[in-house]
């Protein structure tokens, strides 16, 4: 009889995130993101029930693949494989038998945790925990350990059914992508900027990636890396991926001819930020994200950040500002961007610049230096040669951006 229960995966969200006015929007967005993440798997049904999402599997063997997909869906606090049962102690016991059959007996110890949404159920949570605990102990011979068990079985008592599940697996947390709007992330190919973009994705933002390169003055590796990074990060976002690749080598050369060497890095950055701002307005993005970390390199001083930031009317978000390189790289390893970022490339900001760029450029100095060339014209020239990638990142061809840069 145990085989008649539909296998399912119970997906839980942080309850705090579900409070307040945005709740319906949050739930709808997460529902759509889950549906997208699981789109090609044999899923009988995806349902939202009492602040949980239930994924009914056509067959329990898809569980590992479902688990792999759920690891990438922001807003998921944790999830566990289980079954749905009727609202009786016998049915819950039968559900536990099913879970035990599928996962094997608990190793050294276990506990049962009951969560009772339905306060009318005749037993209280502690009573039910004891009752079901005794049952599992008798069946498996494994002792209960309330403080540090190997496995925690969860029984969630809802109004019309109970959910019985095994050990839960942590999800990525955060907010579902889409609830916080769109941002433009400046993606360089280094370690920092993909981590910065990830942080904003985790706070519920769609990210449009923007990359600047100096090809044909340098090798085109950074473009290949950025396409690869966008592919990797797209595992987290539903299909609204966008990458804009902008050639700025010619503009940099013009700036280099007109401006004092020590100011060039700041002037390049001001150009990048002006272009990024124009793109952000087109994209309907509310902010620009960078991987800057205070004091990490010469251009990242408070003075230079101010001189660079002065050219945009959008907030610049620097989620890594207080992190050091080790912390950032550790996070890059965790999210999987590190092996891509590690590949050596040519940084466009090092084209035509001295070994020791100025660390304290004022807004006035930068603006004065820009009198020597037509900044607005450079912005327009660069924008005119951009390549916009959208849709499925696995179809994006880096050669397109190369062709546009030399056209
Ligand atoms: P990263 O590791 O992200 O390359 P970094 O330590 O090399 O950063 P900088 O070169 O000062 O530091 O760049 C600071 C930030 O400016 C980057 O994190 C990125 O957001 C942006 N940026 C720099 N170069 C580019 C580029 N070529 N295209 C797009 N964004 C860039
Ligand atoms: Mg860099």
Overall average pLDDT of the 176-180 stretch:
93
CA dist 328 → 170, 302, 320, 341 (Å): 22, 20, 8, 12
β-sheet bridge partners, residue 10: 54, 80
Average pLDDT, the chain: 93
Q: How far is the CA of 329 from the centre of ligand 2 (A)?
A: 13
Q: Ligand 1, atom 23: nearest CA belongs to which residue?
A: 188
Choosing from 184, 187, 190 the residue with most ligand 1 atoms within 8 A of its CB, the one to mutate for a pocket test is 190
Indicate if the pLDDT at residue 315 is higher than 70: yes
Contacts 24+ apart (CB under 8 A), 301-306: 301/359, 301/360, 303/359, 303/360, 303/361, 303/362, 304/265, 304/266, 304/269, 304/358, 304/359, 304/360, 304/361, 306/362, 306/363
**Burial label, 52 (beta-carbon count in 10 A; 0-12, 13-18, 19+):** middle
Overall average pLDDT of the 350-375 stretch:
91
Indicate if the pLDDT at residue 396 is higher than 60: yes
> Quick one: which ligand is closest to 207's CA?
1
So what's the pLDDT on residue 198? 97
Choosing from 185, 188, 325 the residue with most ligand 1 atoms within 8 A of its CB, the one to mutate for a pocket test is 188
Overall average pLDDT of the 163-184 stretch:
94
Cα(207)–Cα(287) distance, rounded to whole angstroms? 10
- Note the pLDDT tens digit of each residue in 100-126: 998 888 889 999 999 999 999 999 999
For the CA of 325, the closest atom of ligand 1 is 6
299 CB near ligand 1 (under 6 Å): yes
224 CB near ligand 1 (under 6 Å): no
309 CB near ligand 1 (under 6 Å): no
Confidence of residue 1 (pLDDT cuts 50, 70, 90): very low
Confidence of residue 347 (pLDDT cuts 50, 70, 90): confident
> Quick one: which ligand is closest to 291's CA?
1
Helix locations, 104-241, DSSP H: 125-140, 192-202, 221-233
Q: How far is the CA of 362 from the centre of ligand 2 (A)?
A: 22
Confidence of residue 349 (pLDDT cuts 50, 70, 90): confident
332 CB near ligand 1 (under 6 Å): no
- Note the pLDDT tens digit of each residue in 180-199: 999 999 999 999 999 999 99
Closest CA to 30 of 64, 78, 92, 73: 73
For the CA of 349, the closest atom of ligand 1 is 24
- Note the pLDDT tens digit of each residue in 254-284: 999 999 999 999 999 999 999 999 999 999 9
Kindly list the structural domains of the chain, giving each domain's residue range(s) and its CATH number in brackets, ordered by start.
8-170 (3.30.2130.30), 182-406 (3.40.50.620)
Q: Which of 49-53, 129-133, 249-253, 319-323 has the lowest mean pLDDT?
A: 49-53
């Amino acid at each position: 009889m145990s085989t008649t229960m539909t296998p399912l995966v119970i997906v839980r969200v942080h309850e705090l995130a579900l409070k307040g006015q945005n709740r319906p929007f949050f739930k709808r967005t997460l529902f759509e993101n889950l549906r997208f993440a699981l789109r090609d798997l044999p899923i009988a049904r995806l349902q939202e029930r009492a602040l949980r999402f239930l994924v009914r599997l056509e067959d329990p063997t898809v569980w590992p693949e479902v688990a792999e997909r759920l690891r990438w869906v922001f807003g998921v606090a944790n999830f566990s494989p289980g079954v749905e049962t009727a609202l009786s102690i016998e049915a819950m016991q039968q559900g536990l038998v099913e879970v035990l059959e599928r996962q094997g007996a608990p190793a050294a110890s276990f506990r049962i945790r009951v969560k009772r949404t339905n306060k009318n159920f005749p037993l209280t949570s502690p009573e039910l925990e004891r009752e079901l605990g005794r049952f599992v102990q008798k069946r498996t011979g494994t002792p209960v350990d309330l403080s540090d068990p190997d496995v925690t079985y969860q029984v969630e008592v809802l109004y019309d059914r109970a959910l019985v599940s095994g050990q839960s697996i942590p999800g990525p947390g955060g907010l579902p992508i889409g609830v916080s709007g769109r941002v433009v992330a400046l993606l360089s190919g280094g370690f920092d900027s993909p981590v910065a973009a990830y942080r904003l994705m985790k706070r519920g933002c769609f990210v449009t990636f923007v990359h600047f390169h100096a090809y044909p003055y340098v090798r085109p590796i950074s473009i290949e890396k950025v396409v690869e990074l966008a592919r990797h990060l797209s595992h987290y976002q539903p299909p609204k991926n966008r990458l804009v690749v902008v050639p700025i080598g010619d503009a940099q050369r013009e700036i280099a001819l007109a401006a004092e060497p020590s100011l060039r890095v700041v002037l390049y950055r001001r150009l990048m930020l002006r272009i990024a701002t124009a793109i952000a307005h087109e994209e309907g993005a509310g902010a620009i994200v960078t991987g800057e970390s205070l004091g990490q390199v010469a251009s990242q001083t408070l003075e230079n950040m101010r001189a660079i930031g002065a050219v945009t009317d959008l907030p610049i978000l620097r989620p890594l500002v207080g992190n050091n390189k080790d912390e950032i790289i550790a996070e890059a390893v965790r999210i999987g961007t590190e092996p891509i970022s590690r590949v050596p490339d040519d940084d466009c900001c090092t084209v035509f610049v001295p070994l020791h760029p100025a660390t304290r450029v004022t807004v006035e100095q930068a603006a004065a230096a820009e009198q020597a060339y037509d900044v607005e014209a450079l912005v327009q020239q660069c924008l005119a040669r951009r390549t916009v990638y959208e849709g499925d990142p696995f179809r994006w061809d880096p050669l397109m951006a190369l062709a546009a840069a030399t056209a």
